[in-house]
Amino acid sequence: MRWQGRRESSNVEDRRGQQPAMAGTGGASMLPLLLGLVRTKTGRMLLLVGVVVMLVLGQNPLNLLAPQGQQVITTEGDTKAYQTEADFVKVILAETEDFWRAEFTSQGMQYREPTLVMFTGATQTQCGMGQAAMGPFYCPPDEKVYIDLSFFRQMKTDLKAGGDFAQAYVIAHEVAHHVQNLLDISDKVHRAQQGSSKVEGNKLSVKLELQADCLAGYWGADAERKGLLERGDFEEAITAAKAIGDDTLQKNATGRVMPEKFTHGSSAERMRWFDTGFKASSMGACDTFGR
């Protein structure tokens, strides 16, 4: 992809190098106390001394601002690790912002941009504790996309699905879940799942995920129109879609394929729906629920 030098999104929260951890039974947040201290010269001196002491003891001064029972732990990992990937993600997020804003406007709607959170290992979300092992994910309540950037290298080494457009497909897929959230599609699916069996609920989940694949392809076509794609980029995304199909992942993990446990769709389905979106002239082509 030709992504260098393009606009980077400002809707990015960088939590790399920090992980939440439960502390002992502590008191309430120190924030009210800190606000009181900074109002006086003596208080500011005491606060400065406290910060220095915490640094000497190897503690993170940010814990003074942490909610009750929670600490902010800075990992030994360099927060600048995966910086190229971080820059790339900001550009791709910006491209999705431009595309979906225009798409919503053309239909008389207003697009609300999501926030993308880059984290290391684990982070707190309104959907619970987010873990790197979960892969990239979208949390509807806080309208944020979460990603541990090491996932991109896992795609290359473990899934044999490397390439910048494969990475862009992953980001576009999660942003597509945000689009579904704004259009109330996600809520409708979740309500339908509550009154269905596990198998039927999984089928609805598959339709939701395949639609996100289609919408990611729909955005990808815009990237091609802008001249951002190079030879082989489309194949990178298709390879990634194949690598993360439920049947492929199940077979690699257990040697068996269990369709009743699919939640994202088979490799063939994921490739087909991304391709459908890439060739589509409107969002209507991505109606996985009506087919």
Place of tokens 């439920």: 246
CA–CA separation, 102 and 82 (whole Å): 31
Domain match, 58 and 157 both: no
Q: What's the mean pLDDT in 167-190?
A: 97
Residue-level pLDDT at 77: 47
pLDDT in tens, 200-236: 999 999 999 999 999 999 999 999 999 999 999 999 9
Backbone torsions φ then ψ of 2, nearest 5 degrees: -95, 85
Residue-level pLDDT at 76: 42
Last residue of a domain, one of 17, 43, 74: 74
**In a domain? residue 24:** no
pLDDT in tens, 136-162: 999 999 999 999 999 999 999 999 999
Say whether 169 sits in a helix, a strand or coil. Answer: helix
* Rg of the chain, C-alpha, whole Å: 22
Sheet holding 12-15, edge to edge: 12-15, 115-119, 144-147, 137-139
Number of domains in the chain: 2
pLDDT in tens, 57-97: 444 444 444 444 444 444 444 456 689 999 999 999 999 99
Domain match, 99 and 67 both: no
The domain containing residue 273 runs over which residues? 79-290
Place of tokens 């579904």: 180
Domain match, 215 and 231 both: yes
Domain match, 135 and 189 both: yes
**In a domain? residue 17:** no
**In a domain? residue 5:** no
Residue-level pLDDT at 72: 42
Higher pLDDT, 168 or 17: 168
Q: What's the mean pLDDT in 170-190?
A: 97
| pTM for the structure as a whole | 0.80
- The proportion of the chain whose per-residue pLDDT surpasses 70, expressed as a percent, equals 78
**281 pLDDT above the threshold of 50:** yes
Last residue of a domain, one of 45, 74, 103: 74
Residue-level pLDDT at 57: 40
Residue-level pLDDT at 290: 87
Residue-level pLDDT at 92: 98
Domain match, 183 and 228 both: yes
